[in-house]
Amino acid sequence: MRTTLRPRKAVVTLTAFTAITALALTACGGGEDDKGSAEPSTGTAGAPSLKGEKIEVAAVWTGPEQENFTKVLKEFEKRTGATVTFVPAQDPIVNFLGTKIAGGSPPDVAMLPQVGAIQQAAAQKWLKPVGPEAKAQLAANYSRGWQELGAVDGTQYGVYFKAANKSLVWYNSAVFENAGAAEPKTWKDFLATAETISASGVTPVSVGGADGWTLTDWFENVYLSQAGPAKYDQLAKHTIKWTDPSVTAALTTLAELFGKPALLAGGTSGALQTEYPVSVTQTFTGGDQPKGAMVFEGDFAAVNIAQTQAKIGTDAKVFPFPAVGAGTTPVVTAGDAAVALKDTKGAQALLAFLASPDAAKIWAAEGGFLSPNKNLDPAAYPNDVQREIAKALIGAGDGFRFDMSDQMPQSFGGTPGKGEWKALQDFLKNPKDIAGTQARLEADAEKAYRAAAKS
């Protein structure tokens, strides 16, 4: 099943966050006319007349993400005359789509959050190839790497609309200032900074352990920096086992944090009961006495920070995930791709629109969003922090590593309560059991990859 072409990848170093400001990006041209005409602005795909056509779009987004994506869909409605309905989907979305297809009522378009999900859906022959208009937008606006991630066996199925830089640590600047702490550059410095903050009377690290995917992100950043890109690719493809010494080393590194409950907001049990959104908001609630001083996660944490009184760039600041050992600072990315499950004029037109800079700039202005579209004007982002994060991603070109768990069979890398998510939650609960954790990971991975090979 795992036949998607891989982007050429290399680790992006810390200089991407500083030197990349010189990057020149092409601004997306044109804007809507005052009358809300269906004519697209410059840089969008041609917007056909779809008056009377109904389009269903399924995604797992909820809350602010759903609200912001709906604004994008409303603009598409305005330009085409179509009626677009957002269909809330459950995770894992492939299972949700399978039920819909079996019942004869699949949505027209779905947003798939894992590379493995695209591959699985393509293997089941659920997906329709991207049409010429969307292909033209992809060729004009996306690096080769992002295009290849949406392809299976050379056929383009996916349009990556929303990306993520998942190698960031957000922090409460007031806590850092009171503790006399500085942004750490290495894992050793990160642990020392955590101890300094703890000594100041604030618990240093907020972990959303109730959501297993956040723990896979912790592991991937440590692993990429410590083991290197070649090992990362091998583990992602399961050409080396989870019992490999490189995995032992990464879990040992993580245990240096997870094994000290006093450094985790709410301790171990509290972290395991904390869902991702709360892990972010509790870091920026309570002024200089929050429940946690730092929270690791991607650029999309900005949408959760916006639900607090903290202002990004002043109250809430960010630094790159620290380098581990002799490794370099990693950049792990992720993304949500639009795919068509019905070969209709409306579905193809929506894919083309989502591949355009005009669609991306709508959500970019709302925050909590990062686009892989290289022709999106960075001025579309609401603050300098997000602009720099976006420029770093675009500046990496094809030189990035995609989220490892999102490359794996979804039963192992993307299912709540199972596989890697569950194993790492158990590891957070008992970080001394490194060998047992590796054995469970390998057993679950072997089963998932064997099943995937048969599909």
Q: What is the mean pLDDT of residues 187-209?
A: 98
Last residue of a domain, one of 292, 309, 330: 330
Q: What is the pLDDT of residue 289?
A: 97
What's the token pair of residue 288? 């200089």
Domain shared by 97 and 204, yes or no:
no
Q: What percent of the chain has pLDDT over 70?
A: 89
Cα–Cα distance, 177 to 44 (Å, whole number) = 45
In a domain, 141, yes or no: yes
In a domain, 446, yes or no: no
pLDDT confidence bin for 197, thresholds 50/70/90: very high
What's the token pair of residue 359? 């669609």
List, in sequence order, the alpha helices (H) in 180-275. 187-199, 212-227, 229-237, 245-258, 267-272
Tell me if residue 192 falls in helix, strand or coil: helix
Cα–Cα distance, 163 to 113 (Å, whole number) = 10
Question: Among the listed ranges 17-21, 105-109, 256-260, 364-368, which one has the minimum average pLDDT value?
Answer: 17-21
In a domain, 437, yes or no: no
Domain shared by 150 and 174, yes or no:
no
Dihedral angle over CA of 7, 11, 15, 19, nearest 10: -10
Tell me if residue 395 falls in helix, strand or coil: helix
Last residue of a domain, one of 330, 357, 387: 330
- Asked if pLDDT for residue 28 goes beyond 80, the answer is no
Domain shared by 27 and 64, yes or no:
yes
State phi, psi for 190 to the nearest 5 degrees.
-60, -45
Domain shared by 217 and 282, yes or no:
yes
CB 108 within 8 A of CB 79: no
Last residue of a domain, one of 367, 387, 404: 404
In which order are the strands placed within the sheet that holds 316-320? 205-206, 294-296, 168-172, 316-320
- Asked if pLDDT for residue 331 goes beyond 70, the answer is yes
In tens, the pLDDT along 55-114 reads 999 999 999 899 999 999 999 999 999 999 999 998 889 999 999 999 999 999 999 988
Place of tokens 């959760």: 304
Domain shared by 142 and 38, yes or no:
yes
Cα–Cα distance, 424 to 271 (Å, whole number) = 12
In tens, the pLDDT along 236-265 reads 999 999 999 999 999 999 999 999 999 999
- Asked if pLDDT for residue 43 goes beyond 60, the answer is no
Q: What is the pLDDT of residue 399?
A: 67
In a domain, 258, yes or no: yes
Domain shared by 208 and 151, yes or no:
no
Cα–Cα distance, 150 to 351 (Å, whole number) = 12
Q: What is the pLDDT of residue 401?
A: 86
Domain shared by 71 and 37, yes or no:
yes
Q: What is the pLDDT of residue 125?
A: 97
In a domain, 423, yes or no: no
CB 119 within 8 A of CB 1: yes
In tens, the pLDDT along 150-193 reads 999 999 999 999 999 999 999 999 999 999 999 999 999 999 99
CB 453 within 8 A of CB 413: no
Cα–Cα distance, 272 to 424 (Å, whole number) = 11
Q: What is the 3-state secondary structure (H, E, C) of 311-373?
A: CECCCEEEEECCECCCCCCCCEEEEEEEEECCCCHHHHHHHHHHCCHHHHHHHHCCCCCECCC
In a domain, 451, yes or no: no
Task: Say how many domains are in the chain.
Answer: 2
Domain CATH number, residue 366: 3.40.190.10
What's the token pair of residue 14? 């810390």
Output 25 or 247, whichever has higher pLDDT: 247
Domain shared by 325 and 200, yes or no:
yes
Domain shared by 246 and 353, yes or no:
no
pLDDT confidence bin for 196, thresholds 50/70/90: very high
Q: What is the mean pLDDT of residues 30-34?
A: 34
Q: What is the pLDDT of residue 139?
A: 98
CB 46 within 8 A of CB 76: no
pLDDT confidence bin for 40, thresholds 50/70/90: very low
Q: What is the mean pLDDT of residues 345-359?
A: 98
Domain shared by 143 and 273, yes or no:
no
In a domain, 411, yes or no: no
In 3D, which of 11, 72, 86, 9 has the Cα closest to residue 44?
72
Distances (CA, A) of 205 to 213, 224, 261, 265: 17, 21, 10, 6
- Which sign, positive or negative, has the C-alpha torsion 147, 151, 155, 158? negative
Q: What is the pLDDT of residue 46?
A: 54
Cα–Cα distance, 17 to 392 (Å, whole number) = 6
Bridge partners, residue 163, by sequence: 335, 370
Q: What is the mean pLDDT of residues 198-225?
A: 97
What's the token pair of residue 23? 């990057």
Domain shared by 188 and 322, yes or no:
yes
In tens, the pLDDT along 266-288 reads 999 999 999 999 999 999 999 99
Strands 159-165 and 155-156: unpaired
Q: What is the mean pLDDT of residues 381-393?
A: 88
Expressed as residue numbers, the domain containing 366 is 14-165+333-404
Cα–Cα distance, 303 to 278 (Å, whole number) = 12
Domain shared by 31 and 124, yes or no:
yes
* Predicted TM-score (pTM) of this structure: 0.75
pLDDT confidence bin for 413, thresholds 50/70/90: very high
In a domain, 420, yes or no: no
The residues, ordered by sequence, that sit 6+ positions from 286 with a Cβ below 8 Å of its Cβ are none
